[in-house]
Amino acid sequence: MLRFQTTAVHAGREDFATLCVHAPPLDLSTTYPVSDLGVGTASFDALVGGAADAANPIYARLHNPTVARAENAIAALEGTQACVAYGSGMAALTAVLLARRQHGGHVLVVRPLYGTADHLLASGLCGLEAEFVDAGQIAARRRADTTLVVIETPANPTLDLVDIRAVVAAAGDVPVLVDSTFATPVLQQPAALGATYVLHSATKFLGGHGDVIAGVVCCDEAHAAPLRTVRAATGALLHPLAAYLLHRGLPTLALRVERAQANARVLAQRLAEHPAVSRVDYPGLGKVRNAHLVGTQMCGPGTLMSFEMRAGHAAAAAVMAAVQVMTPAVSLGSVDTLIQHPAGLTHRVVDDATRAATGITPGLLRLSVGIEDVEDLWDDLAQALARAEARCPADDAAGRRRTLSVAAGA
């Protein structure tokens, strides 16, 4: 059996020698000729019914060979039978929720998680009742109509860890979905720990270069078939060019994660010692919830962290305005370092009370560390922190009142 880095380079390329190519073929067809109606009809029925492939792709909303190559490669990295790709991470989550509706109407959800995912679940848009619980409450709150348990670990944006094995045990025969976007298959493989569905916003690390939006769900074939049926009906198939770019990013995935993680360890420690910072959420510092899972469930602390500015919202905004090497933008997992404000951006759609309860404060910034030279990153962050300190001194009572006032209106 090939090791991870070798698999990342070669997965989805097994037929290259037969095809006499060295780069994945890109199939942009929207439709495929049907010269034999019997074969075409049988192919249509198979694909609409959730089959992974058929003799004729028929129509690109049902199947695309370039997308299938990327799916096969990602399934190999997660150690699952199948992977189903969608036009975004949110489309992938929506497909799982719609597929599970026929099995029950109740979903248990552990916070925190990505803001739009939280909003989708809380809103009931998919026709499911979402109950938000602590991980330790899952067994007690499970009902006869509970159809899914949803967790994200590491959690967005606080980096709290959730014990996947414990959640799977508490869920019993209820499928567990793990959003493993922050960890990537380099650091964590939830299916091996019992998770039914492993979800990634593939826009992030799997693509890795900020030029593709995609979502994937990795699972066994029995659970993949309904996901393909939903995808065919809703038109959520990943575009083949996006699949091509996604597949192209996989060979460097481990290298990117390892380099960015090394940078993150340094930045987290320096931030923890900085007087302008009141808190750093990073699994490698041992202070996030269930940090002991680093080394067992996760083989490393990852590349993301959040840190809270002592002077609050105004200071956080000042840091974002002052960075010059880092990019002040949402998203994560790219080769460049991104910094953003969860309360004002990614988690803006989450209500104030929930944000407060999950530690998403007005002064919190999330940092997705890239592969640049770590000293350049620290120099940039240090000068931004210095500017924020000068503008918003943490020991200025009037400044704190102004910060609170701005945060309340944000």
Per residue in 254-288, pLDDT (tens digit) is 999 999 999 999 999 999 999 999 999 999 999 99
pLDDT at residue 400 above 90? no
61 is catalytic: yes
- Of all residues in the chain, the percent with pLDDT exceeding 70 is 96
pLDDT digits (tens, 9 = 90+) for 112-154: 999 999 999 999 999 999 999 999 999 999 999 999 999 999 9
> Catalytic: which of 69, 100, 204, 289?
204
Work out the average pLDDT over 10-18: 95
Q: What pLDDT score was predicted for residue 401?
A: 40
Q: What is the residue whose two structure tokens read 């400044």?
A: 399
Residue-wise burial string across 323-361, b where 16 or more C-beta atoms lie within 10 A, e elsewhere: bebbbbeeebbbebbbbbbbbbebbeebeeebbeebbbb
Work out the average pLDDT over 241-252: 98
Q: How many CB atoms lie within 10 A of CB 140?
A: 8
Domains and CATH numbers, the chain: 4-105+167-252 (3.40.640.10), 253-409 (3.90.1150.10)
Identify the sign of the CA torsion 245, 248, 250, 252: negative
Q: What pLDDT score was predicted for residue 93?
A: 98
**Contact indicator for 110, 166 with CB cutoff of 8 Å:** no
> Catalytic: which of 59, 114, 197, 244?
114
> Catalytic: which of 118, 179, 281, 380?
179
Mean pLDDT of all residues in the chain? 95
Single out the residue of 261, 169, 249 nearest to residue 216, CA to CA. Answer: 249
Single out the residue of 268, 275, 277 nearest to residue 304, CA to CA. Answer: 268
For residue 359, CA distances in Å to 17, 131, 269, 385 come to 52, 19, 20, 21
pLDDT digits (tens, 9 = 90+) for 248-261: 999 999 999 999 99
Residues in contact with 258: Cβ distance below 8 Å, sequence separation at least 6, in sequence order: 186, 300
For residue 145, CA distances in Å to 48, 60, 101, 136 come to 27, 35, 10, 19
- The band of 395, judged by pLDDT with boundaries at 50, 70 and 90, is low
pLDDT at residue 410 above 80? no
pLDDT digits (tens, 9 = 90+) for 304-327: 999 999 999 999 999 999 999 999
Provide the β-strand partners of residue 294.
298
pTM of the model: 0.94
Query: Tokens for 314?
Result: 């105004």
Work out the average pLDDT over 218-239: 98
Q: What pLDDT score was predicted for residue 1?
A: 85
Single out the residue of 271, 334, 298 nearest to residue 155, CA to CA. Answer: 298
Q: What pLDDT score was predicted for residue 350?
A: 93
Single out the residue of 111, 108, 84 nearest to residue 96, CA to CA. Answer: 84
pLDDT at residue 407 above 50? no
Query: Tokens for 58?
Result: 């028929």
**Contact indicator for 174, 148 with CB cutoff of 8 Å:** yes
287 is catalytic: no
Three-class DSSP labels, the chain: CCCHHHHHHHCCCCCHHHHCCCCCCCCCCCECCCCCHHHHHHHHHHHHCCCCCCCCCCECCCCCHHHHHHHHHHHHHHCCCEEEEECCHHHHHHHHHHHHHHHCCEEEEECCCCHHHHHHHHHCCCCCEEEEECHHHHHHHCCCCEEEEEEECCCCCCCCCCCHHHHHHHHCCCCEEEECCCCHHHHCCHHHHCCCEEEECCCCCCCCCCCCCCEEEEECHHHHHHHHHHHHHHCCECCHHHHHHHHHHHHHHHHHHHHHHHHHHHHHHHHHCCCCEEEEECHHHCCCCCHHHECCCECCCCCEEEEEECCCHHHHHHHHHHCCCCEECCCCCCCCCEEECCCCCCCCCCCHHHHHHCCCCCCEEEEECCCCCHHHHHHHHHHHHHHHHHHCCCCCHHHHHHHHHHHHHC
Query: Tokens for 230?
Result: 């939903």
pLDDT at residue 15 above 90? yes
Q: Provide φ and ψ at 182, rounded to 5°.
A: -65, -30
Query: Tokens for 51?
Result: 């089959």
Query: Tokens for 131?
Result: 């109950």
- The band of 393, judged by pLDDT with boundaries at 50, 70 and 90, is confident
pLDDT at residue 406 above 50? no
